[in-house]
Amino acid sequence: MNRFWGFLFFLVPVGGVATFAAAPYFNIWLPRDISEHGHAIDHLFFFILWLTGVVFIVTELVLFYFMWKYDAKANKKPAKFTHGSHSLEVVWTIVPAVTLLFIAIYQMDAWASAKMRPPLIPGTEEMISPTVEVTGRQFNWDFRYPGPDNELYTQDDIFRTDGKLYLPVGEKVLLRITSADVLHSFFLPNMRIKQDVVPGMEQSMWFKAKEKGGYDIVCAELCGWGHYKMKGRVFFLSRAEFDEKLEAMRLEQNTMRVAALDEED
């Protein structure tokens, strides 16, 4: 009966591994990555998953083994009287320390490229001009495109409040992101990108999408009762389609005739 306890703890590494093994078959896994830099993040994630997975399995199995073997009901040898082992302490201090430091340094480049190296105009220190300004408000994502003059905050800007963001695929795009009221967070799961937007701060985000299609925009910072309602959708189009779409949106904003409305339906 007492071996039951060891067995119960044995279920931990078994169940733990089984969950991660089975999850992809139920489509419960990392979402499809369509970004250029996303593979670095996914790669790092799986590296850590394997590493911690191995450590997890080994330590839990050792724990189970000790529980099984040294169960007082089965093991009649008197307990060893030892206060520790200096060499073991050294080993299991140095090895994890080195491993952790290695992981730390290994990933610095991925972080820098995602957050510290904005795309610059070639030959200058200036960031490329933003493709869109994204404003989070309670409780919607509003978008503002620069319009034909390619400059934000001029009169030909195009405003969209229907939660659908259009961006060109295959190009590095810079987004100006901001908040109209409280903290929100612009999260694109399929792009592996997330940034909290802080009112009063000038913030940018940049990435390059590799595939066309529509993907979720999720708010990832509690912003009030409607936090769950801040649903958006980003559509990556080819450059030609994107330009077409911008022109169509510009025309719609300049609509002065009711007849034009019927064409929108």
Partner 1 sequence: MSTNSGDHADHTHASGFLRTYVFSLDHKIIGMQFLFSTLIWFFIGGMLALGIRWQLAYPWAPMPLIGNLLAGPEGGQIAPENYTMLVTMHATVMIFFVIIPILAGAFGNFLIPLMIGAEDMAVPVLNMLSYWFMWPAFGIIGLSFFVEGGAAQGGWTSYPPLSVITAAAPGSLNGQTLWLIGVTFVGIASMMGSINYMTTIIQMRAPGMTMFRLPMTVWAMFITALLQAFALPVLTAAGFMQLGDRMLGTGFFLAEGATANNSPMASGGGQPLLWQHLFWFYSHPAVYIMILPAMGMVSDIISCFARKPLFGYKPMVYSISGIAGLGFIVWGHHMFVSGMNPALGMTFMVSTMMIALPSAIKTFNWMGTLWGGQIQYTTPMLFALSFVSMFIIGGLSGIFMAATPVDIFIHDTYFIVAHFHYVLFSGTAMAVFGGIYYWYPKMFGRMMNDSWGKIHFTLTFILLNCVFYPMHILGMTGFPRRLADPYQYETFQNLLPLNQFMSLCALLLVASQIIFFVNFFGSMFFGARSGRNPWHSNGLEWQAPSPPGHGNFDFQPVIHRGPYEYNSPEVEGDYYPQTQPPPEIKE
Partner 2 sequence: MLAIAAAITLAVGCSQSEPPPFRLNMVEMVSQETSDDYQQEIADVLGALFGTPDEPVALEETGLDANMLARSAGPAWSDEKGVQRGLYRKHCVHCHGISGDGRGPTGRFLNPYPRDYRQGVFKFKGTYTANRPTTDDLHAILNNGIPGTAMPAFSLLPNSSVESLVEYVKYLSMRGQLETALISYVYDELGEDDDGGRIPLDPAADPEQREIVLELLAEIVEDWEAAEQRTIAPDESQIPSDDRTPEEIVASVAKGQQLYHGKEANCYTCHGPTALGDGQQNEWDEWQKVQQKFLEETNRLAKSIQERASQDDQDESSEARLEEDKQTLAKRQEVVDTFYPIRHAIPRNLRQAFYRGGQRRLDIFWRISAGIAGTPMPGSGPASPGATANLSDEEIWNLVDYVMSLPYEPPSRSQEAIVPNKDEIF
- Residues in contact with partner 2 by CB under 8 A are 137-140, 142, 144, 153-155, 157, 159-164, 225-226, 229-233, 252-261, 265
Least distance to partner 2 from the beta carbon of 245, Å? 15
Residue 208 partner contact from partner 2, partner 1, none using kind-dependent CB cut-offs of 5 to 8 Å = none
Question: C-beta of 169: minimal distance to partner 2 in Å?
Answer: 20
* Token pair of 111 as six digits: 């972080």
Phi and psi at residue 218, to the nearest 5°: -120, 140
Q: How far is the CB of 159 from partner 2 (least distance, A)?
A: 4
Q: Which does 66 bind (CB under 5 to 8 A by kind): partner 1, partner 2, none?
A: partner 1
Cβ 231 to partner 2 shortest distance, Å: 6
SS3 of residue 77 by DSSP? coil
Q: Which is nearer to partner 1, 156 or 196 (CB)?
A: 196
Mutual orientation of helices 3-22 and 38-69 as an angle, nearest 10°? 170
Residue 244 and residue 52: Cα distance in Å, rounded?
48
Per partner kind, with CB cut-offs from 5 to 8 A, the member of partner 1, partner 2, none near residue 108 is: partner 1
- By a kind-dependent CB cut-off of 5 to 8 A, residue 140 interacts, out of partner 1, partner 2, none, with partner 2
Residues recorded for the chain: 265
Element holding 171 (H helix, E strand):
none
Q: Smaller CB distance to partner 2: residue 124 or 155?
A: 155
The least CB distance from residue 138 to partner 2, in Å, is 6
Q: Which does 142 bind (CB under 5 to 8 A by kind): partner 2, partner 1, none?
A: partner 2
Strands 140-145 vs 158-160: parallel, antiparallel or unpaired: antiparallel
Q: Which is nearer to partner 1, 165 or 219 (CB)?
A: 219
Burial, 16: exposed, middle or buried (Cβ in 10 Å; 0-12, 13-18, 19+)?
Answer: middle
Query: Looking up tokens 């009711």, which residue turns up?
Result: 258
Q: Which CA distances in Å does 214 have to 16, 32, 80, 189, 228?
A: 34, 12, 63, 12, 19
- Look at residue 197 and give the partner it binds from partner 1, partner 2, none, a contact being a CB closer than 5 to 8 Å depending on partner kind: partner 1
Instruction: Output 216 or 244, the one with its CB closest to partner 1.
Output: 216
Type of residue found at 125: E
